[in-house]
Every structure is written in C-alpha cells, then in structure tokens.
Amino acid sequence: MKKLRSDIERYCSLRGHCGTVTSLMLLVTCFNPRMVPVVLLRLTEFFHVHHLGFIAKIFSILNVVFFGIEVSPQVQIGGGLFLPHTVGTVIGAERIGDNCTIMQGVTLGKSDPEMGFTLSERPVIGNDVFMGAGAKLIGRITVGDHARIGANAVVLCDVPAYAVAVGVPATIIERQVTDKPETEHETTGH
C-alpha cells in the first residue's frame, strides 16, 4: 500500500497541495474519479502478489468495464502513478518507474499478438516519464528517466533519458540538459 500512498501524495501535489497528506485526505482521494482506476490497479497488484488471482482478476475487470483501462497484474509499476484520463489505455509493459504520467489511449505492449505475457518482449519505462495521449510504445524498448513521449507517437526504438520523442515512427526532436549552466542572457532576461 506504500505505492498507493505515493500515488495519492503525487496527485495531491499536482493539485497544488503542499505539506503532509492526512489519512482523511488519503481516504477521500481514493474516491476521486481520477484516482479510482489507480486504486483498482493497486488492489489488482496486491491480490496478484499474494497469489489471490481470482480476486485480482475481479479488480482488473472492474478497471476495464468502468474506466476502459487494461493493465496486466504482472506489470511492475512504481509509486506516484498518475492516470488523468484512462479510456482506451492498455498497459502491458515489463516495468514502469516512479512518478510516471500516462494519458488516455496509450498502449504499452508487445510487437506481435500473444495469449501469454512474455516480460522479456515488453517495454521498460524509466522514472518521471510522461506519455501523451494516444502514444504507442511497442516491443522490447527502453524509455529513459524524464523522457517525454508526444501524443500519438509510435515508439519502436529506445528513447534516451531526458529526450522528447514524437512522430510516426517516433524520432527524438530535443534533448534536455540537466546541468546546463546559466548564461548571461538567462540571468538578465535579455
């Protein structure tokens, strides 16, 4: 349940809340329409880990029926997950890092259909990754930390950390530099 707490704390901070999230806030936020799919996802994960597959399946089906999001219980998803809209989202990655945002219609999956779930053929997503609406991340690719995937991009190859990927097929159009020194123009505003 640590991950769920992390999800809720991130959601509250995105809404502008500063400071500690109280137990009452945690409970109330669990019933927020933007957080219910994440709660169901975490319940699915919890029961799957505790070998209660039938109960996990019930929560997974509720997520599909009510929110249009399909998530395999085998996906390892870090804390701080944010799903602002869910309809049409399919999450079939091997792993998703902490503090990721997944918009509606995103597909994370294998490059060809299968009835099972082969982890070694699925995407690996780093921490603090943003995936825009309709993005498709297909096959055994790695998306680095702090990467941004544009809306409707079709990602078929690795995306380095801090990169922005857009287009069909996706190409990297920009790299952010983390330790960029300030220049005189930036400090004076000219």
pTM attached to this predicted model: 0.82
Q: Which of 95, 97, 101, 94 is nearest to 38 (CA)?
A: 101
Per-residue pLDDT of the chain (190 residues; tens, 9 = 90+): 788 888 888 888 888 777 777 778 788 888 888 889 999 999 999 999 999 989 999 999 999 999 999 988 888 999 999 998 888 899 988 899 999 999 999 999 887 776 666 767 889 999 999 999 999 999 999 999 999 999 999 999 999 999 999 999 988 887 656 554 444 444 444 4
CB 128 within 8 A of CB 149: no
Is 2-178 CATH 3.10.129.10?
no
Q: CA of 153: how far to CAs of 52, 119, 163, in Å?
A: 36, 22, 13
pLDDT at 85: 86
